[in-house]
Amino acid sequence: MKNLIQRALVAKRESKYIDFKSRLDFSEPHSWCEIVKDIIAMANSGGGVLVIGLDNKGNPTGFDPAPVLDLDEAVVTDCIEKYTGIQFDAFTISEQTKKGYRLAVIFVEGVSIPIVFIKPGTYAVSDRKQKTAFSAGTVYFRHGAKSEPGNTNDLRKAIERQLETIRKSWLQGGSESPSWKPNLHIPIGG
């Protein structure tokens, strides 16, 4: 975790595992939908870090992160549940500094089974227009520096990550061994 946060603080651009937000204002309608989308996309992609207070080139913007840092993580978990039906709480919000500027950092852990949105993340952009950050039934992943709907390749990678985790656990004698026993009795003949 610490290594990825340190990489994010020196990064000059966003990536699959690092996302910058110049600011985050929860009084704006789109903020909750967009942050939930990014957290879920990172979790589905194996984890990552969102840094609030940096521009797209990794430079501090001077944004005061106090409202984000003061946010109860349970509130974020409840908001995620509203759109996914899952009480996802495998993230932490912490304070970091870069060039003397305070930043809010959200470290997101990866999930073993991708999380699907069950409700659309729609918000008003004007009196007559709405924007949808994500739709019901979609699974979001990180594609480079973007959080986007998943495809077959993303699901394959998620399955491969989980299989690799299980393999490593087995090789290290972990408790992730299967609870089922394979049926080795093969009847021959009638």
Q: What is the mean pLDDT of residues 123-146?
A: 94
Tens of pLDDT, residue by residue over 75-86, are: 999 999 999 999
For residue 179, the model assigns a pLDDT of: 45
* Mean pLDDT, the chain, integer: 91
Q: What is the mean pLDDT of residues 114-120?
A: 98
What is the rounded distance in angstroms from the CA atom of residue 16 to the CA atom of residue 189? Answer: 54
The ranges assigned to domains in the chain are 2-150
CA angle at 115 for the pair 139 and 151, rounded to the nearest 5°: 25
Q: Which of the two residues, 87 and 27, has the higher pLDDT score?
A: 87
Q: Is the pLDDT assigned to residue 184 strictly greater than 80?
A: no
Q: Which of the two residues, 187 and 118, has the higher pLDDT score?
A: 118
Tens of pLDDT, residue by residue over 4-13, are: 999 999 999 9
Q: Is the pLDDT assigned to residue 62 strictly greater than 50?
A: yes
Name the architecture of domain 2-150. Answer: 2-Layer Sandwich (3.30)
Q: Which of the two residues, 74 and 187, has the higher pLDDT score?
A: 74
| pLDDT band with cut points at 50, 70 and 90 for residue 126 | confident
Q: Which of the two residues, 52 and 171, has the higher pLDDT score?
A: 52
For residue 1, the model assigns a pLDDT of: 66
Q: What is the mean pLDDT of residues 114-126?
A: 94
Q: Which of the two residues, 25 and 181, has the higher pLDDT score?
A: 25
CA 13 to chain centre: 18
For residue 188, the model assigns a pLDDT of: 54
